[in-house]
Chains A and B, each alone.
Chain A
Amino acid sequence: MALNKVGDPIIRVDRLYKTFPNGVNALVNFSGHVHRGEVVVIIGPSGAGKSTFLRCLNGLEEIDSGTIVIDGIPLDEKKKNRLEIRKEVGMVFQQFNLFPHMTVLDNVNLAQIRVRHKSREEATQTSMELLNKVDIADKAAAFPDQLSGGQQQRVAIARALAMMPKVMLFDEATSALDPEMIGEVLDVMKNLAREGMTMVCVTHEMGFAREVSDRVIFMEKGTIVEMGTAEHFFENPAEERTRLFLSQIL
Chain B
Amino acid sequence: MHTSAGRSAVLKRLYRSPLADIFQFVILVLLVIWFFARSTENLGYDWQWGRIPPFLFSFDENGLTWGPLMQGLMVTFKISGISLVLAFTIGLTTALFRVSGSFVARAIAHVYLETSRNTPLLIQLFFIYFVVGPVIGLDRFTSAVLALSLFEGAYASEIFRAGIVSISRGQREAGYSLGLSTLDAYRFIIMPQAIRRVVPPLTSQAISLIKDSALVSTIAIYDLTMQAQTLIAETFLTFELWFTVGAMYLFVTTILSLLVNHLEKRFKVSA
Pairing of A with B: yes
A-to-B contact residues, CB < 8 Å: 58-60, 83, 86-87, 89-91, 93, 95, 97-101, 110-111, 114-115, 143, 145, 156, 159-160, 163
B171 near A99 (CB under 8 angstroms)?
Answer: yes
Closest partner residue, chain B, to A88 (CB atom) = B179
The yes or no answer to B189 lying at the interface (CB within 8 A) is yes
Contacts of A87 in B (CB 8 A): 179
B173 near A93 (CB under 8 angstroms)?
Answer: yes
Proximity bits, B169-185, A CB within 8 Å = 1, else 0: 01101111111110010
Interfacial residues of chain B within 116-159, with CB under 8 A of chain A in the complex: none
B270 near A115 (CB under 8 angstroms)?
Answer: no
Q: Per a CB cutoff under 8 Å, which of B173, B180, B269, B271 touches A115? A: B180
B177 near A60 (CB under 8 angstroms)?
Answer: yes
Contacts of B269 in A (CB 8 A): 100-101, 143
Closest Cβ of chain B: how far from A225's Cβ, in Å? 28
Assembled-state Cα–Cα distance A236/B24 (Å): 80
A86 near B184 (CB under 8 angstroms)?
Answer: no
A97 near B173 (CB under 8 angstroms)?
Answer: yes
A60 near B196 (CB under 8 angstroms)?
Answer: no
The yes or no answer to B253 lying at the interface (CB within 8 A) is no
B178 near A143 (CB under 8 angstroms)?
Answer: no
Closest partner residue, chain A, to B181 (CB atom) = A83
The yes or no answer to B65 lying at the interface (CB within 8 A) is no
Q: Per a CB cutoff under 8 Å, which of A110, A143, A145, A160 touches B177? A: A160
The yes or no answer to B89 lying at the interface (CB within 8 A) is no
A93 near B178 (CB under 8 angstroms)?
Answer: no
Known interface pairs A60-B173, A143-B269; A101-B180 also in contact (CB < 8 Å): no
Assembled-state Cα–Cα distance A83/B178 (Å): 9
Contacts of B188 in A (CB 8 A): 99, 110, 114
